[in-house]
Amino acid sequence: MATNPSSANDRHDAHSTTAQGSGWSTKRIAVTALFCAVAAICTLFLEFPILPGVTFLKYDPSAIVALVAGFAFGPATGAVVSTVSYLPHIATASGLYGMVMAIIATLSLVLPASIVYKRNTTFKGALVGMAVGAVVCLACCIAANLVITPLYMGAPTQTVIDMIVPALLPFNVLKIAINCAVTAFVYKPITKALGN
């Protein structure tokens, strides 16, 4: 009995990692786990201050990994990497506070960016997605600091408000700019290497 080549191809594509959002193939699960591991290593061992005089705010490149994952495999994968990779923070000095803040910051950048990119998988789509994600991320980071930081530090909300312009705003703008700029250069070669 002859098989229909097109239907065979359809079945193959349904399990392909190139069909973003279709299903979680073994390859997609394995690569997602790899992304999570790399992002976790970044957040645990590659943290460093990037704003002079504000050493308590530290940058790590894990959001770049999550952005690339979101562009390569879609928003769901980006969300998984953005969340799972920060779970080890619960055992660090920053504890639950650091974990929650990091997840909010990364998810608010990666989800909008990867949703936009999924609709327009071009370089322009990536740039527009990251621009949208940058705005959402900046707003979420400031809002999260206003709500969570007073609880964590035991300080009045006004103290956090006073930190917005001299510290929180420039730090988050610089962090987002680094993440988006590096991602713009590396996501295409990495997605091609992954066969997407």
Q: Which domain holds residue 98?
A: 23-193
Residue 4 lies in a domain: no
User: How distant is the alpha carbon of residue 11 from its chain centre?
Assistant: 31
- Give whole-number Cα distances, 160 to 151, 156, 171, in Å: 11, 7, 14
Residue 1 lies in a domain: no
pLDDT given at position 94:
65
Is residue 107 within 8 A of residue 79, CB to CB? The reply is yes
Which of 60-74, 77-91, 163-177 has the weakest average pLDDT? 77-91
Q: Extract the tokens encoding 56.
A: 């308590």
* Number of domains composing the chain: 1
pLDDT given at position 153:
77
Residue 138 lies in a domain: yes
* Paired strand residues for 49: 58
85-106 pLDDT, tens per residue?
Answer: 988 877 665 678 878 999 999 9
Residue 13 lies in a domain: no
Alpha carbon distance 165, 19 (integer Å): 43
Alpha carbon distance 167, 30 (integer Å): 39
pLDDT given at position 103:
94
Residue 3 lies in a domain: no
Q: Extract the tokens encoding 32.
A: 């997602």
13-48 pLDDT, tens per residue?
Answer: 333 334 444 578 888 899 999 999 999 999 889 989
pLDDT given at position 18:
40
CATH number of the domain encompassing residue 187: 1.10.1760.20
Nearest by Cα to 115 from 164, 79, 151, 154: 79
Residue 16 lies in a domain: no
Task: Decide: helix, strand or coil at residue 48.
Answer: strand
Average pLDDT over residues 158-174: 94
pLDDT given at position 97:
82
Average confidence score pLDDT of the chain = 86
Alpha carbon distance 80, 139 (integer Å): 21
pLDDT given at position 39:
95
Q: What pTM was estimated for this model as a whole?
A: 0.83
